[in-house]
A and B are shown apart, each in its own frame.
Chain A
């Protein structure tokens, strides 16, 4: 069996904010159709890494490769044009807008002609089809997003990334502040999307149990470095906890 091709590669990424070093040389590799889980405490550098991978921030040093080609990500738009899309922790949804407007935010379908009028009908129809396709069930695409539950909102955020033809999907705490049932819906959604093929995932999470359930491979980040890497089947919650505990003791005694 041939290895799936590498879609994303980071080499020695470093980033400081003034005197604070958020990333001290992080490398990762992501293959097509793979789910890479990144675990780590607050301040481990996970979110900074995601922001660099999406072009929201630029690294101080280190190199990025997308589909084998070196890419210096200039902006979110640039990263997006390469197929990288992020679903942020703070949910980039506009709560007062309808589900379909959110799904097409900044990628609206317009009527032809010189006056660029929104084609709401087409967006509404496409939105309903898309949600149906990936198995997200909500009462109506006309509802403002604020009327949906946390899980439904997260699903809409994921669906939006899928709608943009993202091939590399970055998920920052997709299950934060969600009950087990709602979280389960999102895990199912991610697995359905993975099953459809063509999309690779980088997922950031706090919860080790859920992470081992969902990810193919695990990376543990601590204080701006990758301290441990393993296939999910080859590790356990206990082992991960032990590594974190050891690091914590070192930090305390230092």
Chain B
């Protein structure tokens, strides 16, 4: 089959009009660059595993942040919930509970923090930026207190540990699986559709009979559970539960991944797939600069500039594509 140049132009146009296209382009260019600058970047098992470990935790947490951002909310406490959940698991296991129910308890605790975030934000009408700023410190203090500030070793349960992050590809498998699930939730269920509707027009959504409060609180709970799960996965991956793990770094990376992927902070729209690609861009940057051997002090300068550049590129390519489409 031959493709005439006009068709090819149309194909390119259609690709660029696809919401996630521009950020995917950024990701591919970055991968290409690092593969060129460092031959060992992608194409060996070890380096691929290494890269996936940069991407997976951010990808999972960004799913939750994106659902919140669509509603015009944010969860700043996610990184602290990330650190809390493994310790709940540890102490429950220490008290005699098998590791699986102990893990569930950890997730329930994480969900409870989400519930508190949601109830305070929605029912007591505190902006989520403020609510979760409060729980950020509160949960951090709680984790430091119960852990006495010292890391512990995860429970000795080889199979469970392997599934929950210790096997090289388990965390990225969780991440991809959860991204698929959250994408389906967002695009193909009433929950997701109503989340978008409530973000785009809260009053209108309420008038249409949508239970906006229930929806928002639910999304805070989902965020908490995802953050807690990520903390447990990372804890088993590095075989250490650290009260200082996660923190604001991972939370802000997750928010950045969402924004880079095409979810505006203002709410009303969003894309989970874009969030995964955004997390990939950040992971590629972190992994790539580490492999090239950038000085630790200059690393954040370059990472920050690269995030800005990726975001600008994404926003303006998207605008050009929309304008050029002419419909």
Contact = CB atoms under 8 A, between A and B. Distances in A.
Interface of A: 56, 75-77, 80, 86, 88, 90-97, 101, 105-106, 108, 110, 116-118, 120, 139
A97 B193 contact: yes
B203 interface: yes
B183 interface: no
Contacts of A116: 189-190
Contacts of A117: 184, 188-189
A92 B209 CA distance: 10
A90 B201 CA distance: 9
Interface of B: 184, 188-190, 193-194, 196-197, 199-201, 203-205, 207-210, 268-269, 327
A211 to B, nearest CB: 24
B188 A106 contact: no
A77 B196 contact: no
B204 to A, nearest CB: 4
A92 B193 contact: no
Contact of B201 (A75, A86, A92): A92
Contact of B204 (A56, A93, A101, A118): A93
B85 to A, nearest CB: 27
A106 B194 contact: yes
A116 B207 CA distance: 23
B208 A96 contact: no
A95 B209 contact: no
21 contacts: A56-B207, A76-B208, A80-B209, A88-B207, A91-B201, A91-B204, A92-B203, A92-B205, A92-B207, A93-B204, A94-B197, A94-B205, A96-B268, A96-B269, A97-B200, A105-B193, A105-B194, A105-B205, A106-B190, A106-B210, A118-B193
B271 to A, nearest CB: 11
Nearest to B201: A94
Contacts of B194: 105-106
B266 to A, nearest CB: 11
B188 A118 contact: yes
Given A88-B204, A88-B207, A90-B204, A95 B188 contact: no
A96 B187 CA distance: 13
A120 B200 CA distance: 20
A106 B204 contact: no
Contacts of A86: 207
